[in-house]
A and B are shown apart, each in its own frame.
Chain A
Amino acid sequence: MKAIYKREIKMYFSSMIGYVFIAFFVLITAVYFSIQNILSLSPDFQYVFSSVIMMFLILAPMLTMRLLSEEKKQRTDQMLLTYPVSIPSIVLGKYLAAVTVFLISLAITGIFPVILSFFGTVAVAQILGSYIGFFLLGSAFIAVGLWISSITDNQIVSAVATFVAVFLLLMVETIVSAASGSEGFSLMFAGVIALLIALYVYYNTKNSEVSITVFIIEAAVLLVLYFVKRSIFTGLAGKFAMMFAVLTRFNSFAMGLLDVSSIVYFISFIAVFLYFTVRVIEKRRWS
């Protein structure tokens, strides 16, 4: 793991990516810092992070797009997988390297609240909270990006898909509040999930009859449930989607709350995506 981590860190800083990432991150934060704190004479630095969250759309793909896709393309995964290192340690090494670059840029922005503290009273707890929350949020996006880069061997596809994934994660609350409540929508949503399960069955067994049967059974169960006990579907899609509402979790940190359940949430979120990544790599060896 250490060897992989060291190489990735070196890669970030021997290519431009590491510097561009840090420069971009600090610049955007500095712009918002100037507008929200200096120009408006406010010491509330914690709101800056809420304002710059959108830059993850670009930053997350930037860090993760080549991590695993490039290994596959250059066939260097053949080296990693035939060396005496385990797949989890490869994934973890790469993940920690990306998180480290993110952490470095986050540390540099630490200068802003220090500046503020000379001229006014800063809310230490809230700022610390928002730092922790922002770090966990970014780490979660990086985990998603790493997983996506393990699926494809094309950097551009990886970057675009990560952009879309981060966008959806940031929009979960908006989408849910706009569309939930209607049972019809929930049924449609459950149908899509059923279809995905059937496709997953097909992907693993390559047996079209079995997967079609599975889908028909699922669809029948759903329709029966819909007509017999419609109340189940009330807000079902919304409840499910809210499992991915990372922004809601982040907001509790920005208010200065060190919510244990949110910390556990983010750590599990990251662990699940790292696990998916390991599975994707392992799966490829078997197919």
Chain B
Amino acid sequence: MIEVKNLVKNYGKYEALKDISFKVDTGEVVGFLGPNGAGKSTTMNIITGYISASSGEVSIDGFDILKNPKEAKKRIGYLPEIPPLYMDMTVTEYLNFASDLKGVKKAEIKPMLDDIMEKIKITHVSHKVIKNLSKGYRQRVGLAQALVGYPEVLILDEPTVGLDPKQIIEIRDVIKELSKSHTIILSSHILSEVSAVCNRVIIINKGRIVASGTPDRLSESLSQDRFKIKLKGVREDIINAFKNDSSFGFVEESQTTEEGTTDLVVEGASGVDAREAVFDNAVKNGFKLLMLKSEKLSLEEVFLQVTENENFSLDDLSKDKTENISSDNINNIQKSAENTAEEIDRVLENTEPDKDINEMNRESDEK
């Protein structure tokens, strides 16, 4: 549905986007994640045709945004970071104008707007002048504007920014509802939002895609074979027994909330299933195993890992979605994967992750 190929955008000497490529299939909900200034809005502005890329191509449903802008733009509903509202119009006037501009047939405008306002829940403010609406309602009117003409693709730039928690949940629900019938690209720097709404995440940092995949995969792949266990027994004994066991590559005590127990985070040495080793060790030393669960990195931690180190790059982690990646992209990923294989190894097999990340940060700072 949306194909983005080798986008580059330069502002003078500053490179805002450095070779961004990705594909979004019909019906997918893709989350664009990145710190401020990563290039999310720039990418979205290019996809929607607001600004032009220095090089690269964007096509929507096969229509190039530069060569065939009318057809491409008809298929897009865009909610920019700041909703583009005419403050001195009423909501109805504004949406009527949007419909006219999109070329919706006159007879269809009224039923369409009624339907959209119903969906977004702004029917009761339809006669109000936009300048008198609260931030949350303005955001909704902006969203309604994006839905005018029922475009197949929705591009939403930080749709919940600046809203209160209740409004965030409401807007999120609306987006979830819309995702059933639309292809959506949504940008955010709030990770819980992305993991709640999207079925794929693209993490972008300093103008590059640094990781992409389903939210689950992203966090899984960075915390392979790491488990949190809870044991009952004498604390020193447990720690000694596990630290001296060569079947573990990594052992660290973590805070316990239950008296008389000790919590550990362990990782198997290479080729060893840590779960079996934990069982064996506990049986051998007579500890009682109260809990064993795999510890995933939260999306937050993944995000910090991939964005804080400039050279860090991940292979595309959604292996079941490899068909979504263009061959160019695979090449790029392979290239960057080779360069950074060492670092990935370190992250995946590290012995003390916190220290390691700190080291990596220090390295990147030095660079």
Contact residues of A with B, CB < 8 Å?
2-4, 6-7, 10-11, 14-15, 74-86, 206, 285-287
User: Closest CB of chain A to B81's CB: distance in Å?
Assistant: 9
A11 to B52, CA, bound (A): 30
A76 touches B51 (CB 8 A): no
- Flag if A80 contacts B82 (CB, 8 Å): no
B71-88 vs A, CB cutoff 8 Å, 1 = contact: the mask equals 101101010101011111
Q: Which B residues are CB-close (under 8 A) to A11?
A: 88
CA distance in complex: A238, B61 (Å): 56
What residue of chain A has the Cβ atom nearest to residue B75's Cβ? A84
Q: Knowing A82-B49, A83-B73, A285-B52 are in contact, say whether A76-B84 is a contact too (CB < 8 A).
A: yes
Contact of B87 among A4, A74, A206 (CB under 8 A): A74
Return the chain B residue nearest A11 by Cβ. Answer: B88
- Do A74 and B86 touch (CB < 8 A)? yes
> Which of A75, A84, A287 interacts with B70 by CB under 8 Å?
A84
The CA-CA distance from A285 to B53 in the complex, in Å, is 9
A75: which of B49, B69, B82 is its contact (CB, 8 Å)? Answer: B82
Q: Which B88-135 residues sit within 8 Å CB-CB of chain A?
A: 88, 93, 97-98, 100-103
A84 touching B85 by the CB < 8 A rule? no
Is B271 engaged at the interface, CB distance under 8 Å to the other chain? no
Interface check B145, CB cutoff 8 A: yes
- A-B interface contact total, Cβ < 8 Å: 69
| Bound form: Cα–Cα A101–B277 in Å | 85
Q: Considering residues A10, A74, A79, which has the most beta carbons from chain B within 10 angstroms of its beta carbon?
A: A79
Complex CA distance for A82 and B145, rounded to whole angstroms:
12
B48 contacts partner chain A, Cβ-Cβ < 8 Å: yes
**Inter-subunit contact B84/A4 (CB<8 Å):** no
Closest A residue to B145 by beta carbon equals A79
22 contacts between A and B (CB under 8 A): A2-B100, A3-B97, A3-B101, A4-B101, A6-B100, A74-B84, A74-B85, A74-B87, A76-B85, A78-B45, A79-B84, A81-B49, A81-B50, A82-B78, A82-B80, A83-B73, A83-B101, A84-B73, A84-B74, A84-B103, A206-B12, A285-B50
CB-CB nearest 5 A-B residue pairs: A3-B100, A79-B84, A84-B73, A82-B48, A76-B84
- B80 and A75 contact, CB distance less than 8 A: yes
Known: A2-B100, A84-B102, A287-B11. 16 other contacts (CB 8 A): A6-B100, A15-B88, A76-B84, A76-B85, A77-B84, A79-B78, A79-B84, A79-B145, A80-B101, A82-B73, A82-B80, A83-B102, A206-B12, A285-B50, A285-B52, A286-B51
Interface size class of B (residues with CB under 8 A): 20 to 34
Chain B residues within an 8 Å CB radius of A76: 84-86
A286 to B9, CA, bound (A): 9
A287 to B80, CA, bound (A): 19
Q: Report B278 CB to chain A, min CB distance, Å.
A: 55
* A173 CB to nearest B CB, Å: 41
Give Cα A251 to B23, complex, Å: 62
Nearest-Cβ distance from residue B228 to partner chain A, whole angstroms: 47
- Contact for B98 among A15, A79, A86, CB less than 8 A: A79
Instruction: Given A82-B50, A206-B12, A286-B52, check contact A75 B101 (CB 8 Å).
Output: no
Given the complex of chains A and B, what is the CA–CA distance between A76 and B138 in angstroms? 13
User: Contact partner of A78 among B11, B50, B71, B88, CB < 8 A?
Assistant: B50
With a cutoff of 8 Å between Cβ atoms, the chain B residues found around residue A78 in the complex are: 45, 50, 78, 80, 82, 84
Once the chains are docked, how many angstroms separate the CA of A15 from the CA of B88?
Answer: 9
Chain B's closest residue to A284 (CB) is: B51
Chain B residues within 8 Å of A83, by CB: 73, 98, 101-102
A10 to B88, CA, bound (A): 11
* A75 and B73 contact, CB distance less than 8 A: no
Closest to B84 in A: A79
Provide the residues of chain B in CB contact with A206, threshold 8 Å.
12
For the complex, give the distance between the alpha carbons of A77 and B45 in Å: 12
Which A residues are CB-close (under 8 A) to B71? Answer: 84
How far, in angstroms, from A74 to B84 measured CA to CA in the complex?
A: 7
What residues of chain B lie closer than 8 Å to A80, measured between beta carbons?
101
Q: How far is the CA of A80 from the CA of B86 in the complex (A)?
A: 11
Complex contacts, B101 vs chain A, CB 8 Å? 3-4, 79-80, 83-85
With most chain A CB atoms within 10 A of its CB, the pick from B11, B50, B52 is B50
What does the 1/0 interface line of B206-231 toward A look like (CB < 8 Å)?
00000000000000000000000000
Find chain A residues with CB under 8 A from B52 CB.
Answer: 285-286
Q: B residues within 8 A CB of A14?
A: 88
How many angstroms from the CA of A2 to the CA of B86 in the assembled complex? 17
**Once bound together, how far apart are the Cα atoms of A206 and B11, in whole Å?**
11
Q: Among the interface residues B71, B82, B100, which one has the most CB atoms of the partner chain A within 10 A? A: B100
Which of A14, A76, A77 has most B Cβ within 10 Å?
A76
CB contacts (< 8 Å) of B51 on chain A: these are 285-286
Q: Which residues from chain B contact A82 at a C-beta distance below 8 Å?
A: 48-50, 73, 76, 78, 80
Residue interface bits B38-70, CB-to-A below 8 A is 1, else 0? 000000010011111000000000000000011
A75 to B81, CA, bound (A): 10
- Bound Cα distance A15, B97 (Å): 17
Within the assembled complex, what's the spacing in Å between the Cα atoms of A82 and B76?
8
Q: Chain A contacts of B49 at CB under 8 A?
A: 81-82
Nearest CB of chain A from residue B306's CB, rounded to whole Å: 30
A7 / chain B contacts, CB cutoff of 8 Å: 86, 97, 100
**Which residues of B are found within 8 Å of A77, using beta-carbon distances?**
84
Separation of A75 and B52 alpha carbons in the complex (Å): 17
